[in-house]
Structure 1
């Protein structure tokens, strides 16, 4: 990792990514995709299915979740002017960094489900330097993900 010491000695005061919100058509189907194809455990799915909460999530790790926000919530997005206009406009992509064995398992699960995946790229730059391998795929709503590993 060279002389980048920014990753050493992380404390509870370090800025971290808490969650990403994705616009989806069917949150239950999306949660199923992320669970079975990507391996991310659903969070609050039964509460959503029972109508108790407005959206479910999937857990990326102990500190980070991905919220699966139904398009029908767009008109309620009033926290900033124009916030509702973000519905249907996914970010360019979200990158998942995995251990090498999970990288290969993810690619296999996606291929088993006929999810199109890109060719494997080598040595692309990211938060931890140069990744050994990476590839891209889309979720059922067209959100683009990159999967990579550094080891």
Structure 2
């Protein structure tokens, strides 16, 4: 209906972002097949089924955000992470348990660590170098 006002919530934003991730050409994260069919929805996120391996998945399968709950608080927690809040303070502000924010922090910070570029192009300048080395024992 034209003229109807809709109120978007943080959960709506998260769901639309997740669904947009595979909207163009979904591929099976298990077998990399492209014979995909829609297979219902779960909590607003489109599910798919691979015709090759017959497994179901959604846009979060195989990502650090897979199987994490409280999606409505993800965007707000991202802001808390950006602001450098402690695990407990972030949990208090978002209304979740501190073990939940601890789990989120480790999952979210693992994603950039695992996505490293293999090569550099152009001019590269480094002013400090850190080597992970232990002199213990």
TM-score range, shorter chain: under 0.3
Bigger proportion of residues as helix = 2
Bigger proportion of residues as strand = 1
Bigger relative contact order, structure 1 or 2 (CA pairs below 8 A, ≥6 apart)? 1
Q: TM-score under structure 2 normalisation?
A: 0.26
Q: TM-score under structure 1 normalisation?
A: 0.24
